[in-house]
Amino acid sequence: MLGVGVGVMTLVVVLSVFNGLEDFQRSLFKSFDSDLKISVKTGKNFELTPALLQQIKGNSAVKSVMEVIQESCLLKYQDAQMVVNMKGVDETILAQEQIKKSIIEGNLKLTDGPQNYAVVGSGVYVTLDLRLMDFINPIEAWYPRNTKSKTLNFSAGEDAFNRMTLLPSGIFSIEAEYNDNYVLVPLKFAQELFDYDKKRTALEVQVKEGNDIDDVKKTLEKQLGEQFLVQNQDEQHATLLRAIKVEKFITFLILVFILGIASFNIFFSLSMLAIEKKEDVRTLYAMGATPTLVKQIFLAEGAIVGLTGAIVGLILGFLLCLSQQTWGFVKMGIFGGLIDAYPVKMNALDFISTAIVVILITMLASYFPAKRAAGVQLLK
């Protein structure tokens, strides 16, 4: 019972931690990504017409639509340089509370009259060794003018590049993928640097509270047709979330295998019991018992061991997860991490699937000893 209980508790806790990590990743996405992202299925940009924009804004469930131009470019600051993902956004971003909460220094400021500003990820800030609002040494953004060749070949001379300057106004910190790669700039700045004119790489849609995002997604897909791809946050990061689910599934299989090994205790215990109780089984046969009844007796004992272990393990797992949620006593040990303790989220399906697997394993482990006990012959 103890072996089964510990195995069940471990399985429940590990699955709950994977659920917590998945939820934590989703919360990070919400800080930077929109509810829905509209892009083209083929190519990397499309021409934004007033009719298309009005068609999307005309949906009663749409709260806001942000125009986006995103490309890779070179940033230079004094003697440092790096390639970043520059994301040009319009003023709609200033109303998004989630991105405001991720600002750790400075302000979410993109323009002030003719002056352009950039909000940079903390990793970009450190790599370039930036200083906020450094009017003497602005950031230089470089991008090739020849859109057919994106190789940064400085031997071709400065005339081969569009070059513009801007000042860092703020630093955001969300997650390494964003912090080390992304820079937010005004839409018009990106439009001019990348020679995009009326073209956009994406439209980011925020959905009004109380509306189902997947329902809005389906509506927009019907409105926009086959040319456009509408993705929710999970679909925008499908690879990462799929990796978490695969890891969770593999871990589940490994722990189930360990539970299977633990079930050998039940198998050997019942096998020894069947040998020890041969005379008692013969007595039961003499009293009129049938092989089916004897088999049921041993199966019942295996079921009692398995069910008791499973129930105890589920209760202990629940209490351990609840304690972690409440007090976070198991720390991640990452200095300066976004979270201090391992995130945990309990899912009823994990508890049910674990219980079912344990019951099946214990019943299978009990079957052969029970069959052996039922095969004892009555002495003549």
**Residue 36, pLDDT score:** 95
- The reply to whether 200 falls in a domain is yes
**Residue 240, pLDDT score:** 83
Q: Do residue 101 and residue 221 come from a single domain?
A: yes
Q: Do residue 285 and residue 231 come from a single domain?
A: no
**Do 4 and 309 meet the contact criterion of CB atoms below 8 Å apart?**
yes
Buried-exposed string 226-244: b where 16+ CB fall within 10 A, e elsewhere: eebebbbbbebbeeebeee
Helix, strand, coil percentages for the chain (3-state, nearest 5): 55, 20, 25
**Residue 380, pLDDT score:** 44
Q: Do residue 179 and residue 79 come from a single domain?
A: yes
The last residue of a domain, from among 204, 236, 268: 236
**Residue 264, pLDDT score:** 80
- The reply to whether 379 falls in a domain is no
**Residue 157, pLDDT score:** 57
Q: Do residue 140 and residue 285 come from a single domain?
A: no
Closest C-alpha among 266, 201, 193, 285 to residue 1 = 266
- Write out the residue range of the structural domain in which residue 220 sits: 34-236
Q: Do residue 176 and residue 267 come from a single domain?
A: no
How many structural domains does the chain have? Answer: 2
The last residue of a domain, from among 236, 264, 286: 236
Q: For each successive 10 residues of the chain (380 residues), what is the average pLDDT? A: 88 93 84 90 91 92 94 94 95 87 92 93 94 91 72 59 93 90 96 92 94 94 92 89 90 88 82 88 89 89 87 95 92 70 92 89 87 70
**Residue 104, pLDDT score:** 92
In angstroms, the CA 21 to CA 212 distance is 24
Q: Do residue 285 and residue 219 come from a single domain?
A: no
- The reply to whether 71 falls in a domain is yes
**Residue 146, pLDDT score:** 61
β-partners of residue 199 are 47
First to last CA, the chain: 38
The last residue of a domain, from among 201, 219, 236: 236
